[in-house]
Structure 1
Amino acid sequence: MFADNIQVLLDARLSTTEAYGAALTLLLVLYCLSWMVYNLYFHPLSTYPGPFWARSSRLWYCYTLIRGTLPFSVYHMHLEYGDIVRIAPDELAYNDPRAWKDIYGHRSGKAEIPKDPNFYLNTAAGHLSIIAAPSERHGTLRRLLSHGFSEKALRDQEPTLQYYADLFIRRLRDQSVTDERIDIVKWYNFFTFDVIGDLAFGESFHCLETGQNHPWIEFIFQIIVQGTLARATDYFPFVKTILLLFIPKSLRDGLATHIALMKSKALHRLNMKTDRADFMTRMAAPNSGISEKEFIASADTILLGGSETTATLLSGVTYYLLQNPRTLKILVEEIRSKFTSEDQIDVVGVNTLDYMLACLNEAFRLYPPVPGALPRRTVVGDTLAGEYVPPNTTVAIYQWAMYRSPKYFSRPEHFIPEHWTEDQKFQNDKRAVVMPFSNGPRNCVGRNLAYVEMRLLLARLLFGFDIEATPEVQGWLKQKVYLLWNKPALWIRLVPREVKFRKQVDDMPSLAAFNKLYS
Structure 2
Amino acid sequence: MAPIFEFGNPVNVPLIGAACISLYIVGGIFYRLFLGPLRSIPGPLLWRLTNLPRVYHILKGDIHVKVRELHTKYGPVLRLTPYEVEHAILRRQLSHGFSDKSMREQESLIKGYVELLIQRLHENAQNGAARLNMRDWYNWTTFDVIGDLGFGRPFGCLEGTGYHPWVKLITETFRESSAFQSLAHLGLRPVVKYIYRLGLMGKNKENLNLVSETLQERIKLGKERPDLIEGLIKKKDELGIDFGTLVSNANLLIIAGSETTATLLSGATYLLTMNPDKLAKVSEEVRSTFGSDQEITLTSVSQLPYMLACLNESLRQYPPVTSDLPRVTPKGGSTILGTFIPEGTVVSVFQWAVNYDPRFWKNPLKFAPERWLDDPEYKDDQQDAMQPFSTGPRNCIGRNLAYAEMRLILAKILYNFDMSIDDDSRDWTVDQRSFSVWEKPELNIHLTPVTKKSG
- C-alpha offsets along residues 385-433 of structure 1, whole Å, 9 cap, x if unaligned? 1332224421011111112111121111111000001222122221121
Query: Quick one: structure 1 residues 33 and 273, their matched pair in 2 at CA, closer, same or farther if it must change by over 3 Å?
Result: same
Q: Structure 1 residue 437: deviation in Å?
A: 1.0
Per the alignment, residue 464 of structure 1 pairs with 416
- The equivalent position to 1:389 in structure 2, one of 313, 335, 341, is 341
Q: Which amino acid aligns with 1:342?
A: D
Post-superposition shift, 1:293?
2.2
Q: Could you tell me how far apart the structure 1 residues matched to 2:360 and 2:105 are?
A: 38
RMSD: 2.7
> Are the structure 2 counterparts of residues 29 and 219 from structure 1 closer, same or farther at C-alpha, using a change threshold of 3 Å?
farther
Partner of 1:86, secondary structure, is coil
Which residue matches 2:315? 364
> Superposition pairs for residues 336-355 of structure 1, below 5 Å?
336-355=287-306
Deviation at 1:491, TM superposition (A): 0.9
Inter-partner Cα distance in structure 2 for 1:292 and 1:147: 20
Report the CA distance shift for 1:410/1:244 in structure 2 as closer, same or farther (over 3 A). farther
Match of 1:70 among 63, 71, 74: 63
CA spacing shift, 1:238–1:232, aligned 2, 3 Å: closer
Q: Distance between the aligned counterparts of 1:470 and 1:193, measured in 2? A: 25
Contact 2:130 2:448 in 1 (8 A): no
Q: How many residues align?
A: 436
Q: Deviations over 1:222-264 (max 9, x none)?
A: 111121111111133469859999x9x9993222211111111
Aligned pairs for 1:116-135 within 5 A: none
CA contact (8 A) 1:62 1:232 kept: yes
Q: Which residue of 2 aligns with 1:455?
A: 407
- Give the AA of the match of 2:161: G
- Counterpart of 2:79 in structure 1 is 86
Give the aligned partner of residue 497 of structure 1.
450
Asked whether the equivalents of residues 378 and 393 of structure 1 are also in contact (C-alpha less than 8 Å), the reply is: yes
TM-score (normalizing by structure 1): 0.79
Q: Secondary structure at 2:175's aligned position in 1?
A: helix
Residue identity matched to 1:414: K
Name the residue aligned to 2:52: 59
Instruction: Give me the TM-score of the superposition, normalised by structure 2.
Output: 0.89
User: 1:149 is aligned with what amino acid?
Assistant: F
5 Å-filtered alignment, 1:280-319, equals 280-285=229-234, 288-289=238-239, 290-319=241-270
The whole-number CA distance in structure 2 between the counterparts of 1:298 and 1:47 is 39
User: What does residue 160 of structure 2 align with?
Assistant: 210
Could you tell me how far apart the structure 1 residues matched to 2:276 and 2:199 are? 42
| Corresponding residue SS for 1:304 | helix
After superposition, residues 271-282 of structure 1 pair within 5 angstroms as: 271-282=220-231
Aligned-partner residue type, residue 160 of structure 2: T
**Match runs of 1:136-175 below 5 Å:** 138-175=87-124
The whole-number CA distance in structure 1 between the counterparts of 2:276 and 2:225 is: 43
- Cα 1:239–1:361 shift into 2, 3 Å: closer
User: CA offsets per residue over residues 164-211 of structure 1, 9 Å max, x none?
Assistant: 011111111222336552110111010100000001000101001111
User: 2:170·2:207 contact (CA, 8 Å) conserved in 1?
Assistant: yes
In structure 2, the partner of 1:402 is: 354
Contact residue 334 and residue 343 of structure 2 kept, 8 A:
no
Cα distance between partner residues in 1 of 2:187 and 2:253: 31
What percent identity do the matched residue pairs reach? 37
Preserved contact between residue 228 and residue 482 of structure 1 (Cα < 8 Å):
yes
SS in 2 for 1:409: coil
Task: Determine if contact 1:58/1:88 at 8 Å carries over to the other structure.
Answer: yes
